[in-house]
Amino acid sequence: MSENSGPVRPLPRAELAATAAETTAENPWPLRLLNAKITEYVNRMSALWVEGQLVQINRRPGAGMAFMTLRDVDADMSISLTILARDLTASQVQLTDGARVVVHAKPVFWPKRGTLQLQAREIRPVGLGDLLARIEQLKKVLAAEGLFAPERRVPLPFLPRTVGLVCGRESKAEHDVVVNARARWP
């Protein structure tokens, strides 16, 4: 109750904005509407394959689910990941902290907590052996196309006219190459 004017009554609500861009400070969306819109959007997403590193694995005996976190191997990003125990057993993957995997999962948004997670359907290990197998498979495909044939090889020129350098703009690598090239071939 307010000291001067009696009980505090909510302001009459204007009609809610149809899109997020139409909201204002005077006519905001309630959180439940925002979360409903996010849920609707995420539910339209299809399942996808994503690669990452497993951490914080929590598999309770007798539980129907295993919980873990999937971290990006190159960036400081992560997302919660769940998988049904029967799907995990079917995939025959040994879950260990730090294991690199590819996961077939569907994004799910939990509106009450406002959290996004992935519900995995399949987990496959990715490691050096798998990577080498993929490289060997690619080599076989390229060899079958004749790309490694000796008659297709082009001899390298004694002095190239152009040199390609892949690095950051104005990086030390670029500076070193330019300085050394100018010193050797003025």
Q: Rounded to whole angstroms, how far apart are CA atoms 110 and 31?
A: 13
Task: For 21-38, write each residue's pLDDT tens digit.
Answer: 999 999 999 999 999 999
Average pLDDT of every residue of the chain = 86
159: pLDDT confidence band, cut at 50, 70 and 90?
Answer: confident
3-state SS, residue 59: strand
Residue 119's H or E segment, with its range, is strand 115-125
pLDDT surpasses 70 at 18: yes
Which domains can be identified in the chain, with CATH numbers?
1-44 (no CATH), 48-149 (2.40.50.140)
pLDDT score of 2: 47
Q: Rounded to whole angstroms, how far apart are CA atoms 157 and 26?
A: 71
Task: For 77-136, write each residue's pLDDT tens digit.
Answer: 999 999 998 888 777 677 788 888 999 999 999 999 999 999 999 998 886 656 666 788
Whether pTM exceeds 0.85: no
Q: Rounded to whole angstroms, how far apart are CA atoms 125 and 88?
A: 12
Angle at 51 between CA 48 and CA 57, to 5 degrees: 105
Which pair of structure tokens corresponds to residue 156?
């390298």
Neighbours of 20 (CB within 10 A): 10
Which pair of structure tokens corresponds to residue 121?
């359907």
